[in-house]
Amino acid sequence: MVDAFRRIGVTRVRSDAGAAATDRVATEEPLEIRLHGRPFAVIMRTPGADRELAAGFLLSERVIAGAADLGAIEFCTHRSGPTSLPMRAENIVNVTLAGNAAARLDRIIGERRKVTTHSSCGLCGRLTIDSLRAEAPPLDSRWTVGSQVLTSLPDRLRASQSVFDETGGLHAAGLFTADGTLETAAEDVGRHNAVDKVVGRMLIRQQLPLSSFLLFVSGRTSFEIVQKAFLAGLSIVGAVSAPSTLAIDLARETGVTLLGFVRGGGFNIYAHGHRVALEAQPVSSQVN
């Protein structure tokens, strides 16, 4: 198994003086996802939770609709088959589909050109934004979460980031209950990958939709992250940093409560604030 970080020799400069040192750097390697042995996608990711990442990615790509469409997810034991990148066996997973997804395999492969999904940019290679929009009704969950719980989430998620402690270079995503209990978390060089890992883990456990959890991420919120949350049934999404305009638009369309700049005891509400119960400290209306 590939380590999540590597030790790299560096020159560390302090007060205009340089000295040899060792740094720990987050690993980024390609993961090839095959469907029934046929190449489907290559994702740049941090090794670890690869089966969960594949499951979450296939859900967000609408290849599968749920656990019933998943047969098996197995690491390849050899490198046979076409690929555009030099791949080690531990960087290839083969997914066997079931149910309706298996019946659509030829069409799925035919409709998608093979793309490389870079860790920094999400779903590259899609032709239009409209093709990313899910054909499903807006989320209508009624539960709420307190503002004090929300402001505690950055520290709670940070406490789960063991690889970040070593590298300082990974994003994280976590699923939390309404009282702030962390259900599961994942780290990756890509924000989108971290989300796919936690969603895929719950999908494999057959716990979708995730209507009783909220998603919290360590970086900014993009369109793709809101889309992944929506497809998984997550009606509340929070982030340490800013959302994009397209993320806000999609959240408002799909019924997702979207929170940004959750740090320093406050946050901004960008969409569907009725799920936030304000408590002792009022939330500033200033937009950062």
**pLDDT tens sequence across 50-60:** 999 999 999 99
Q: What are phi and psi of 217, to 5 degrees?
A: -125, 155
**pLDDT tens sequence across 94-116:** 999 999 999 999 998 887 754 44
Reduce the DSSP state of residue 159 to 3 states and report it.
Answer: coil
* 271, 146, 152, 254: CA torsion to nearest 10: -20
pLDDT of residue 279: 73
CB 43 within 8 A of CB 195: no
pLDDT of residue 34: 93
pLDDT of residue 21: 79
The closest alpha carbon to 214, from 280, 157, 282, belongs to 157
How far is 64 from 84, CA to CA, in rounded Å?
25
Q: What are phi and psi of 212, to 5 degrees?
A: -100, 10
CB 174 within 8 A of CB 157: yes
Is 125 or 185 the better-scoring residue by pLDDT? 185
Is 47 or 210 the better-scoring residue by pLDDT? 210
How far is 215 from 195, CA to CA, in rounded Å?
8
Band (85; pLDDT cuts 50, 70, 90): very low
For residue 21, what is the DSSP state? E
pLDDT of residue 217: 95
pLDDT of residue 160: 86
**Domains of the chain by start residue, with CATH:** 29-124 (3.10.20.10), 145-277 (3.40.140.10)
* 65, 233, 118, 116: CA torsion to nearest 10: 10
**Is 80's pLDDT higher than 80?**
no
pLDDT of residue 127: 32
Reduce the DSSP state of residue 237 to 3 states and report it.
Answer: strand
Band (226; pLDDT cuts 50, 70, 90): very high
Q: How many CB atoms lie within 10 A of CB 134?
A: 14
The closest alpha carbon to 69, from 107, 29, 99, belongs to 99
Q: How many CA atoms lie within 13 A of 65 on its CB side?
A: 10
Vertex 123 angle, CA 195 and 41, to 5°: 95
Residues with Cβ < 8 Å from 140, sequence gap 6 or more?
A: 255
**pLDDT tens sequence across 60-79:** 989 999 999 999 999 986 55
pTM: 0.82
Mean pLDDT of 4-10: 77
Cis ω on the peptide bond leading into residue 209 (within 30° of 0)? yes
CB 87 within 8 A of CB 107: no
Q: How many CB atoms lie within 10 A of CB 228?
A: 27
Beta bridge partners of 259: 238, 269
How far is 193 from 120, CA to CA, in rounded Å?
9
How far is 281 from 279, CA to CA, in rounded Å?
6
pLDDT of residue 89: 72
CA 71 from centroid of its chain's CA atoms: 22
For residue 206, what is the DSSP state? T
**Is 286's pLDDT higher than 80?**
no
CB 140 within 8 A of CB 209: no
Helices (H) and strands (E) in the chain, counts: 8, 15
Least confident of 71-85, 165-179, 242-256: 71-85
**Active-site residues: which are they?**
121
The closest alpha carbon to 40, from 103, 130, 108, 98, belongs to 108
**pLDDT tens sequence across 195-217:** 999 999 999 999 999 999 999 99
